[in-house]
């Protein structure tokens, strides 16, 4: 009885959706024993670019597993040259909480810390002299000070910039 039901459903699907029904039932690849260009079947080629050293990847994975660290929501920081706005940097900040601090309460308060970090980026320039990119050491110092002011002077052990995407205006 089940086989009859399967055949009936297959026939309905085949008549309603001929392309997708036949795609589901494509034949396996056949070998022609050395004759090139006559093989049939579906082929998928997947390539992965794994640039960088394995030690760096292991170090990044270890940092991601740090139970005392969390990534804040993306900070939008203005970029400027000679007082003129040239674009924005969208920055992911990773915060390492100091020992003895409640990581969960600091993480739950991250939206207020985000406001402090954005305001600090508007008060103190975090762009390079040309206004084309983020000045990473300066930005880390500005955001470290802003988070220390928000959370307290001993709450944050370290601030890291994980990713910075720069969008410049066209003139």
- Check residue 48 and give its pLDDT: 47
Helix (H, G, I), strand (E, B) or coil at 77: strand
Give the C-alpha separation, 6 to 2, whole Å: 6
Q: pLDDT-derived band of residue 38, with 50, 70 and 90 as boundaries?
A: low
- The residues, ordered by sequence, that sit 6+ positions from 150 with a Cβ below 8 Å of its Cβ are 112, 113, 116
Please compute the mean of the pLDDT values over residues 146-155 and round it to a whole number: 94
| Burial of 141 (C-beta count, 10 Å sphere; 0-12/13-18/19+) | middle
Domain boundaries, the chain: 68-168
96-131 residue pLDDT tens: 999 999 999 999 999 999 999 999 999 999 999 999
DSSP state of 29: P
Highest CATH level, class, for 68-168: alpha beta
Does residue 78 surpass a pLDDT of 50?
Answer: yes
- Check residue 169 and give its pLDDT: 87
- Check residue 111 and give its pLDDT: 92
- Check residue 26 and give its pLDDT: 47
Cα angle 127, 72, 79 (rounded to 5 degrees) comes to 15
**What's this model's pTM, rounded to 2 decimal places?**
0.62
Cα angle 126, 129, 132 (rounded to 5 degrees) comes to 75
């Amino acid at each position: 009885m089940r086989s009859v039901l399967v055949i009936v459903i297959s026939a309905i699907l085949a008549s309603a959706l001929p392309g997708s029904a036949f795609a589901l039932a494509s034949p396996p690849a056949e070998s022609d024993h050395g004759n090139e260009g006559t093989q049939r079947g579906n082929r998928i080629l997947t390539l992965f670019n794994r640039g960088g050293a394995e030690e760096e990847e292991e170090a990044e994975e270890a940092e991601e597993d740090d139970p005392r660290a969390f990534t804040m929501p993306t900070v939008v920081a203005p970029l400027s040259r000679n007082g003129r706005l040239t674009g924005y940097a969208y920055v992911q900040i990773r915060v390492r909480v100091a020992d003895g601090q409640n990581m969960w309460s600091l993480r739950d308060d991250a939206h207020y810390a985000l406001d402090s970090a954005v305001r600090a980026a508007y008060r103190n320039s975090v762009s390079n002299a040309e206004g084309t990119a983020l000045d990473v050491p300066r930005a880390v110092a500005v955001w470290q000070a802003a988070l220390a002011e928000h959370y307290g002077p001993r709450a944050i052990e370290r601030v890291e910039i994980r990713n910075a995407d720069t969008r410049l205006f066209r003139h």
